[in-house]
Structure 1
Amino acid sequence: MSLKSFPKPSELTVPAGAEGWEKIYPYYLVFQDKLKEQEDAKFWFCDSQHWPTVFKPFETIGGEFAVKCLGQYNARHLMIPNANGIEFRIHLGYLYMSPIPVPEDQIAARVPLFEQRIGHYFQNWEEKLKHWHVKVRGTIDEMERISFPKLPDIVPMEDITSGKGKDGSEKLLESYDRLIQLAYQNWQYHFEFLNLGYIAYLDFFNFCKQVFPNVPDQSIAAMVQGVDMELFRPDDELKQLAKLAVELGLQAHFRNTDDVDATLGAIAAAPGGDRWSAQYDGAKDPWFNFTVGNGFYGHDKYWNEHQEIPLGYIADYIRRVDEGQEIMRPVEALIVERDRIIEEYRELLEGENQAVFDAKRGLAATAYPYVENHNFYIEHWTMGVFWRKIRELSRMMAAEGFWSGPDDLLYLGRNEVRDALFDLVTGWGVGAKPIGPDFWPEEIERRRGIVDALKTARPAPALNTPPESITEPFTRMLWGITTEQVQQWLGAGETVEGGGLRGMAASPGVVEGLARVVTDADQLSEVQQGEILVATVTAPSWGPIFGKIKATVTDIGGMMSHAAIVCREYGLPAVTGTGSASTTIKTGQLLRVDGTKGTVQILDAESLEELLVTGPGAHSHSHV
């Protein structure tokens, strides 16, 4: 049975224990009763690609800054003719988005502005990108210098003699405000080039579709694939370290990588170990500013703070090198394949069209690597420093009695943290006890209960009635929210022969293998050689497991999602944007993944019967 629309926000059941959840988030992030008619008229999709788990109140900062800054480049900077920004709300703890179209009568007036603005960027690409790196590094360096020391018992005498006239508490408040501002600053920079990368790619994509009506989306992507990308550097560094360890005969020291100090100490003391240690230290800064998550949550683990993670990956690579496996990415083969596809299509064109093809492809190939590379500088590096500083502040306030756990601050909104800081400096300044220690511990526990209750339900993939067609370019390219895909989620799309799921044909090839469902980065160590990874979403830092797996299947994501790009670079089949793979498929089931057609078949008879009874779309609502 096919449905015409997804549930309305008010039709979703609030999990037991999560009553009053709306109050833990800012008013402007939740659906409003007074605006029910307008909000129910819009189509909202869940961005579980970037926010796969429930927000703690402080963590909404990532969603707010990211989506706001994405929108500003569409609607205010670049004046993209057919796309404004994206409205967003949190519902039952998950982030939902609704693209804002440009009214038909305003599109034409934006075209000359758009052309002038993107023309300036593309003509000065190298210089502007170099300056971008300087700006972003400057922000990160300033963040590193921020600290949150305990306030002194007494203002130092030199502050009296110098006539400073302040007690030092202003520095604490300024440091907090500045940390938030710096995070905001790098999120603005984040989208300066990202939207251009998509625009250049889409321009080439649309041109190809026009002159080669039957060209597969994957072939277009292959023509611009960025082989030498900074986002692959952390993983490449680990591979080089593994190869060096084998060359130096250091394998025996990687038996218990969970004990970081003992492992590094034993290597340093071994013959040739100093050479390996020097290369390890060189790789660590900056390439270990890398998270196993995506940088949007306070609980994300970063390699430089949890070195057992990269050391564990190195140990696995050492095992594979010793077994005679080729662990490096097939870069040469990718280049040969890319050039072959370019030539094949180019030869079909004549005269002026050939020159247009060259120009558009050249621009897309120049701009495309940024689509992934920026992730390292913003989501990974900037946010790694940001969360580390926030934990430092949380520990300082825990020591002042405001709460007990080192991460409890995450249960306050960022503006509430500002209030709590003012409460702290007021009590300290006047010599009285602040109110926070009697207010926050109980409130944090109450909120923790709500967040935990919200986590018991999976989000609905979308809300309300989808539009006739979806045109917003980022919605299509990044999230894979296309008209066809939405129909598929509703159960109205084309059925998969033999039953199964349909998604985006994100990376070509057909394989069969056993499923490994991963919903959390902590489960990555369970992935076995030759399995098929099934996930709500993958993170760029999962690179080391792409050498083990046969294919990838995700719930959400388009041609330009991380999973799609990484799988193409590793030569693995991928089907993205299935809507419900991670809740439909179980670990150990036999799958056939066809990344060329975009289908996933479950070959186990028992699970197949269940799927045929309930229908592929049913599972997306089964936990709501």
Structure 2
Amino acid sequence: MNTSASPTPVEFAAPGPGSWSIDTAHFPRPVSHFQAEIHPQGITEGFTDCAPRYGLLIDTLDFRFINGFGYSTVVPAPETEIPARFKAAEAVFRDKIWRDDLERWDREVKPASIETHQALLAVEPEALSDQELFDYVTRCRENLQAMVRQHHMFNLAAMIPVGDFMAHVERWSPLPVKDYLTLTQGSAPESAGIFHELDDLAEAIRGSEEARGILGSDAPGGTILDRLRDAPGAVGETARTYLDMVGHRLLNSLDTGEPAAIEVPDALVSRIRLAVDQGVQHGAAVSADEAARLRAAIPPEHRETYDGLLEEVLRMWRLRDERGFYSDVWAGGVMRRALLAAGKRLAAEGRIAEPENLAEGTWAEIQDLLRRNGGPSAETLAARADYRRTHRAEAAPPELGDPPAPPPPLDGLPPDVVRVMTAIGTAIMSLNADPDSGEKSTIVKGIGASPGTYTGTARVIDGPDDLRRLQRGDVLIAATTTDSFNIVLPLLGGIVTNAGGLLSHAAIVGREYGIPSVVGTRNATAVIADGARVTVNGSTGEVEIAAA
């Protein structure tokens, strides 16, 4: 819902030289003090790991949180490394080095991440002594730090192939590049909230009259989930497996200060009900006729190259969300579980007001609190939580420091370097965009990201509590979406976001599940009232608000 409280004004200053741009796509709200210490280093180190291998003339992103909002500036590659970067770029497209990253992800990184998360979740923090709990919280924090870095180590593997495809299509075809991105439908099942664990649970429930009664009851969502977990036989086994897989993942944020899915049980229950009603889902798929139409618009001399570029996009597409889903989205939920357990003890002692307020502390402050060695007051932490509830990125400056400068020209650089830089530049520019504003008050304009038209009830989601109000067929109106939204997105009939471009998360999941989507409206959450009747046109990028 739209925030009604008037936020307290805050001052913003650039954290260093250069031009700093706000990241509204991933951090539409201020993050907790705990998270603000973890993300910057992981982002910077992750980019630093992959940039040299891909021959980028960018070394990394310097990422900082100012008053809880994320800002970044580009750090160019050191002059001494330029010859090596030129050499590395020669291998990128020749050897398709992203395939090596994907193979390593599937063989080593993803399985190890799952094992680590599940091992941490196997610990019952309530049963630990104070010292054991302190050590457990420390382990969870170390895991989260590693997972943020891991996420960003795979950025270029996820972005270079699609950026290269888009750049070529823009040159070759008179058709919009967004039409070509629909060809990715069905390539990333988890982006559409499809899990075989959910299919197994749905099948078990369909085969049990008792389980169908539990799921269809009007009991609170948490009670329904508990009853499904405790059910005998296949229902209980599959319920525990599914909830263990998705329950402790952050639901609509990358911040441990925000709830995990298990804390919004009504949303999970709605998702299970949808799976039971629909049967096994495999995501949308573009028709063969549409694929042929798009290919026919490519000049004949380029079609073989086009086929190869598209093959790489389809191969790598799932990595876009998987690298977050199995890394920091899951690690963040595991971390939150540990902080809540510790917070409950501190709240019972009167040291903090609410268990979740522990995430409002810095790591040094949290250690002091856990050691009962001072730390911030309950009032200080509560005030920080209130600040995050009442402030939004729309009110923060989009730029800090020097005025943004255009990217340096690529003239005279080796062809492979030009291609790499063009690919990453195209991908990054497609994460966000600045559409023209609509002239009529009943029309909100943005970027048509997933085609189709849908009319339904607008549900303005400003925070995790609002997710409890999502009903099947609602139109999501939000500042942005992140990887963590994937669990509940299949419930929706349409998606509209303030931030985003053709490669933003909302655009990707909209296409993956065939949900009409409009992104980059800038002001949809302010203009569209909760409960309004809206028509989303994902082809034209317009959202029409019905007259009251």
TM-score, normalised by the number of residues in structure 2: 0.80
Distance 1:522 1:533 in 2: 14
User: Do residues 215 (structure 1) and 175 (structure 2) align?
Assistant: yes
Cα deviation for residue 296 of structure 1 reads 1.6
**Residue number in structure 1 paired with 2:376:** 440
**Residue number in structure 1 paired with 2:21:** 44
Contact 1:498–1:601 under 8 Å retained in 2 = no
Change (3 A) 1:448 1:253: closer
* The structure with more radius of gyration: 1
- 1:550-565 equivalences under 5 Å are 550-565=493-508
Change (3 A) 1:137 1:235: closer
Cα deviation for residue 535 of structure 1 reads 1.0
- Secondary structure at 2:510 match in 1: helix
User: Do residues 313 (structure 1) and 248 (structure 2) align?
Assistant: no
Higher relative contact order (CA 8 A, sep 6+): 2
Distance 2:99 2:488 in 1: 39
Match of 1:80 among 56, 59, 66: 56
Contact 1:481–1:577 under 8 Å retained in 2 = no
Match of 2:359 among 410, 428, 431: 410
Distance 2:163 2:224 in 1: 50
- 1:531-542 equivalences under 5 Å are 531-540=474-483, 542=485
Amino acid paired to 1:449: A
Amino acid paired to 2:318: P
- Secondary structure at 1:533 match in 2: strand
Cα deviation for residue 131 of structure 1 reads 1.7
Contact 2:182–2:450 under 8 Å retained in 1 = no
Change (3 A) 1:252 1:517: same
Distance 2:489 2:65 in 1: 32
Amino acid paired to 2:185: Q
* RMSD, aligned α-carbons: 4.0
**Residue number in structure 2 paired with 1:572:** 515
- Secondary structure at 2:326 match in 1: helix
Amino acid paired to 1:311: V
Distance 2:423 2:219 in 1: 44
Match of 1:335 among 285, 305, 311: 285
- 1:245-260 equivalences under 5 Å are 245-250=205-210, 251-254=212-215, 255-258=217-220, 260=222
Amino acid paired to 1:335: A
Change (3 A) 1:191 1:133: same
Amino acid paired to 2:25: Q
**Residue number in structure 2 paired with 1:57:** 33
Distance 1:312 1:335 in 2: 24
Distance 2:474 2:221 in 1: 28
Contact 1:73–1:195 under 8 Å retained in 2 = no
Change (3 A) 1:559 1:284: same
Amino acid paired to 1:57: H
Distance 2:121 2:531 in 1: 44
Distance 2:197 2:70 in 1: 34
User: Do residues 127 (structure 1) and 86 (structure 2) align?
Assistant: no
Amino acid paired to 1:456: T
Contact 1:551–1:572 under 8 Å retained in 2 = yes
Amino acid paired to 2:143: L
User: Do residues 90 (structure 1) and 26 (structure 2) align?
Assistant: no
Deviation string 1:135-183 (CA, Å, 9 cap, x unpaired) is: 42354356457769436xxxxxxxxxxxxxxxxx7x8876655443332
Distance 2:138 2:520 in 1: 38
Amino acid paired to 2:14: F
- Secondary structure at 1:353 match in 2: helix
Percent identity, aligned pairs only, is 21
Amino acid paired to 1:389: A
Amino acid paired to 2:208: L
Cα deviation for residue 368 of structure 1 reads 1.1
Cα deviation for residue 408 of structure 1 reads 3.6
Match of 1:456 among 387, 390, 400: 390
Change (3 A) 1:266 1:569: closer
Cα deviation for residue 204 of structure 1 reads 1.3
User: Do residues 516 (structure 1) and 448 (structure 2) align?
Assistant: no
Amino acid paired to 1:150: S
Contact 1:140–1:382 under 8 Å retained in 2 = yes
Cα deviation for residue 211 of structure 1 reads 1.8
Amino acid paired to 2:21: W
User: Do residues 229 (structure 1) and 189 (structure 2) align?
Assistant: yes
Distance 2:536 2:192 in 1: 25
Distance 2:494 2:309 in 1: 31
Alignment coverage as a number of residue pairs: 522
Distance 2:114 2:237 in 1: 24
- Secondary structure at 2:316 match in 1: helix
